[in-house]
Chain A
Amino acid sequence: MILAGTTTSAGENSREMFESLLKRTHQQAFHLALRLTGSRTDAEDLVQEAFLRAYRFFHRYDPSLPFTSWLYRIMTNAYIDDIRRRGKLKTSSLDEPHPETGSTWDFPDESASPERLVMTSEMEAEIQEGLNRMTPDFRVAVLLADIEGFSYEEVASIMKTSIGTVRSRIHRGRKQLRSFLVKAKPEKYKGMLE
């Protein structure tokens, strides 16, 4: 019963509008998706799925709200759905050292004070690994706040939850990341714990 064919001028207009929003937001959406999934391929798939869903329901988009808030709601929902479907909602791996981030790197001069840590590509990989092992709901909240700079109220609206829950997820998520880093690379990050 799907009707194929005709395109009205109203349809053309909304497609033009959608395409212009897509062009403006897809890079940022990719970066968020990359940090969420930890993989470029998964990030591209997730962003494409989010844009397709957004396009199908573009007639429901309220233009008085930022497009990215709406898009990220769709994207993070698709992401959490996917994880639940695959039964990956576990955090126990936080306690296991990552096979690839063993203890081969040594940055003795950086261990004394956390303020002096400078972002290196190794560090980016370690933080990403910590994100990958974070509880998914915490990861979404932390990334929306710390990568995208959304307020707790905006995160709550995107995640359809209360501000209190957002506050707790962000707090616990950041602590999970810190625990992972300290366990994975104690010589580098132990200064972050007393």
Chain B
Amino acid sequence: MNCNFVESRLAAYIDGELDGVDMLRVRSHVSDCRQCAFELDSLREVKSMLGNLPARKPADDFELRLLNAIQSEDSRTVRVARGFTFRFGWSGMAVAAAAAVCAVVVFSFNRHDESNVATAPPAVAPREGFERDQIYFQASSPLSQGVTVSYEGISSNR
């Protein structure tokens, strides 16, 4: 059992995070090695200094400010968890898309002869099978930045 092996495990030893065998190895080594025993005491002191840092409280109105921030978040966006709203949104979009196609067709009839109608853009039906939050959230996780409403990045999320 050399000092390097023991030294690299002292923090875990202090924290009770070694398995039984290593725990006994370290314990037996520090009982014989003055240098490692000193290091153990010193690192214990560092841990206790951190643990003794006084708990600091936020400003009195902090809770209220947080609650307000949550509220304004809520009024800004209907969150994606609400399936009903989403489905309504999607069917609304489908109607809007269909209406747009009709408009293009009508517009084409009005302005051009029939041969040009064939060049009207094809109807793009919403693809099925997407999960709703893929549509509204580019950031698919609370660990990534912000919320972007975009089609881009959908495929990279899953």
Contact = CB atoms under 8 A, between A and B. Distances in A.
B63 interface: yes
Interface size, A (range) = 35 or more
Contact of A27 (B39, B58, B85, B89): B58
A191 B69 CA distance: 48
Would you call the interface of chain A mostly helix, strand, loop, or mixed?
Answer: helix
B62 A52 contact: no
A3 B85 contact: yes
A145 B52 CA distance: 13
A30 B53 contact: no
A51 to B, nearest CB: 6
B142 A53 contact: yes
Contacts of A10: 81-82
Contacts of A81: 145
A122 interface: no
Interface string B1-16: 0000000111110010
Interface in B80-95: 80-82, 84-85, 89
Nearest to B74: A15
Contacts, number: 164
Nearest to A14: B81
Interface residues of B, number: 55
Interface string B43-86: 10111011111111111001101110110011111111110110
B38 interface: yes
A169 to B, nearest CB: 9
24 contacts: A5-B78, A8-B84, A8-B85, A11-B82, A15-B70, A23-B63, A26-B63, A31-B55, A47-B66, A56-B142, A57-B141, A57-B142, A73-B143, A74-B142, A74-B143, A119-B49, A119-B54, A143-B50, A146-B47, A146-B50, A147-B53, A163-B17, A171-B8, A171-B11
Given A22-B66, A146-B47, 18 more contacts: A2-B77, A30-B62, A34-B56, A40-B56, A51-B70, A56-B73, A56-B79, A114-B41, A115-B41, A119-B52, A123-B49, A143-B50, A152-B12, A152-B15, A167-B12, A170-B12, A194-B35, A194-B38
